[in-house]
Amino acid sequence: MNKGTYRVTTFGCQMNAHDSERLSGLLEDAGFVQATGDSADVVVLNTCAVRENADQKLYGTLGMLVQEKEKNPDLQIAVGGCLAQKDRGEILRRAPWVDVVFGTHNVNALPVLLARAKSQKEAQIEILESLEVFPSDLPSKRESSYSAWVSISVGCNNSCTFCIVPALRGKEKDRRAGEILDEIKALVDDGVVEVTLLGQNVNSYGVEFGEKEAFADLLRACGEIEGLERVRFTSPHPRDFTEEVILAMKETANVVPQLHMPLQSGSDRILKAMRRSYRKERYLEIIDQVRHHIPNAAITTDIIVGFPGENDEDLAETIDVVQKARFAMAYTFQYSKRPGTPAAELPDQIPPELVQVRFEKLLKVVNEIAWQESKKQVGKKVEVLVAPREGKKDSETHRLSGRTPENRLVHFAYEESQKIRPGDFVTTEITYAAPYHLVADAGCEVRRSKAGDLWEVRQTDKGNAVSLGMPVLIKSS
């Protein structure tokens, strides 16, 4: 029974994007179909609460949706995710045209809440304080034929003073390895060639059942899955990162040589104020260990500029780490107060104009090093996992795009006769480097995959459907 159409919009991180796939799967199980145009009968906003402007983005979007609701009174609007968990009744106070508000712990309740709101003709709020159903146990509507996220844990046991995630996602809850591996095997049977293991702190995985090296063991077990070509993970925490994990990365053929290791600050004084349970020296030791065992590893990081009490010397310490670690990319953020976090109450909040100056100074160094690291790729042959076309640009340049095992973005030339599909692999030679992408204009060799076959079948089923892509993802900044 077709109950109408739906649209899911995601604000935030990979964890939210993974939840959105589950929300889509739940709605389709309940009889809804994904909207192909701008209009829909159900609009779901899966929110983020990490960045300062997260609430502005939400209420700005809701302000536009009220116009849609005036044209179509039967339109249902649901708000879920981290901001819903935090603001609860505030959302309905500021946007009384919303029909459903649900939290991070009860994603599975969405279809029931929508039905209840319609039958009772009043808004429904349901915010649970603990996880009811593990996200990956729910049905999923994956729109990528070749890549998938797999949650290995949810929640976080850390207490970083700038972060509100533990309050919204709860304490860490781990899945048993057998369940994770069964899910991955099912995904591979469905054509997936790449998975990303997700957790707020993946390398503390196993804490619930007292297995110290559970994450390293899980990586090695992924290496035994036939047909699984690439395994990624995000995000680890330096506190729990062990040499055993590095060895598992090195020794497991399908675990990619890429690591995202959040730094946040290079100043020991600021790291202490952040309650990050490592210091600069330990962080650099981990980087050195990774480089020793996996020389070609591409390492990325997160850095916060302008944390309360930060001074020029602290920024200099951070720049020193950036210069020594030589990150392929650093996601740099200007500190912003988040209500409910300890850091919001700290003295010595930095004026925004000074934060901007420091941010630009750091960004200049980050970009210079990223470009230097990219230039080292010129002349190398790389294998690229092909992504969907991204519209007009690909047609004009006559290039397609994809990622190397190190997660570097490559735009590569090809021949129409090669009939390359998303999910196929190509081998090509890098001819040009920019700071955050590479170009390969020397032509390519194609290795076709089951994922590409599946994409082709789905395209045929959809008739004149557009290229596959993930649910709409709006990154907070």
Residues 70 and 88 in one domain: yes
pLDDT band with cut points at 50, 70 and 90 for residue 52: low
Residue 85 shares a structural domain with residue 146: no
pLDDT the model gives residue 463:
53
Q: Which pLDDT score, from 0 to 100, does residue 394 have?
A: 61
**Is the per-residue pLDDT at 229 higher than 50?**
yes
Determine the pLDDT at residue 212.
87
Residue 179 lies in a domain: yes
Flag whether pLDDT at 239 surpasses 70: yes
Instruction: Tell me: do 335 and 407 sit in the same domain.
Output: no
Quote the domain boundaries for residue 353. 138-375
In this predicted structure, the answer to whether residue 389 has a pLDDT above a threshold of 80 is no
**Co-location of 356 and 385 in the same domain:** no
**Residue 60 domain-assigned (yes or no):** yes
pLDDT at 364 over 70: yes
Residue 121 sits in the same domain as residue 210? no
The answer to whether residue 467 scores a pLDDT higher than 60 is no
The domain spanning residue 215 has which CATH number? 3.80.30.20
Query: What pLDDT was estimated at residue 472?
Result: 37
Long-range CB pairs of 205-213 (<8 Å, 24+ gap) are 205/152, 205/153, 205/174, 206/174, 207/157, 207/172, 207/174, 208/172, 208/173, 208/174, 209/174, 209/176, 212/242, 213/242, 213/244, 213/245
What is the pLDDT at residue 395?
A: 64
End of a domain among 103, 132, 161? 132
151 and 125, same domain (yes or no): no
Lowest mean pLDDT among 133-142, 175-184, 224-233, 270-279: 133-142
For residue 472, is it within any domain? no
Pairing outcome for strands 194-198 and 230-234: parallel
Greater model confidence, 477 or 271: 271
Bridge-based pairing state of the strands 472-474 and 147-151: unpaired
Total domains present in the chain = 3
> Distance (Å, rounded) from C-alpha 41 to C-alpha 3?
9
**Could you say which of 80, 101, 132 is where a domain stops?**
132
- Integer Cα distance of 137 and 406 in angstroms: 29
The residue that leads in pLDDT, 52 or 338, is 338
Q: Is residue 311 part of a domain?
A: yes
Mean pLDDT of 135-163: 85
311 vs 131, which has greater pLDDT?
Answer: 311
CATH assignment at residue 113: 3.40.50.12160
165 and 268: one domain?
yes
Place of tokens 């030679």: 429
User: Are residue 86 and residue 199 in the same domain, yes or no?
Assistant: no
Question: At 439, which CATH number?
Answer: 2.40.50.140
Q: Could you give the 3-state DSSP secondary structure of residue 242?
A: coil
Same domain? 307 vs 415 = no
Query: Is residue 322 included in any domain, yes or no?
Result: yes
Question: Residue 447: phi, psi to the nearest 5?
Answer: -120, 110
Give the span between the Cα atoms of 447 and 194, in whole angstroms. 15
For residue 465, the model assigns a pLDDT of: 40
383 vs 133, higher pLDDT: 383
Domain finish residue from 132, 157, 187: 132
Same domain, 230 and 341: yes
For residue range 73-129, list pLDDT tens digits in order: 999 999 998 888 988 888 999 999 999 999 888 889 999 999 999 999 999 999 887
Mean pLDDT of 272-291: 97
Q: Is residue 473 part of a domain?
A: no
442: amino acid identity, one letter: A
State what percent of residues in the chain have pLDDT above 70. 94
Residue 465 lies inside a defined structural domain of this protein: no
Q: How far is CA 90 from CA 83, 263, 352, in A?
A: 10, 34, 27
* Of 129-143, 219-233, 280-294, minimum mean pLDDT range: 129-143
* Per-residue pLDDT at 310 exceeds 50: yes
Angle at 197 between CA 388 and CA 382, to 5 degrees: 50
Check if the beta carbon of residue 145 is closer than 8 Å to that of residue 458: yes
Q: How confident is the model at residue 174 (pLDDT cuts 50, 70, 90)?
A: very high
Instruction: Kindly state whether residues 254 and 285 are assigned to the same domain.
Output: yes
Are residues 277 and 164 both part of a single domain? yes
Structural domain contains residue 467: no
Angle, helices 14-29 vs 110-120, to 10°: value is: 60
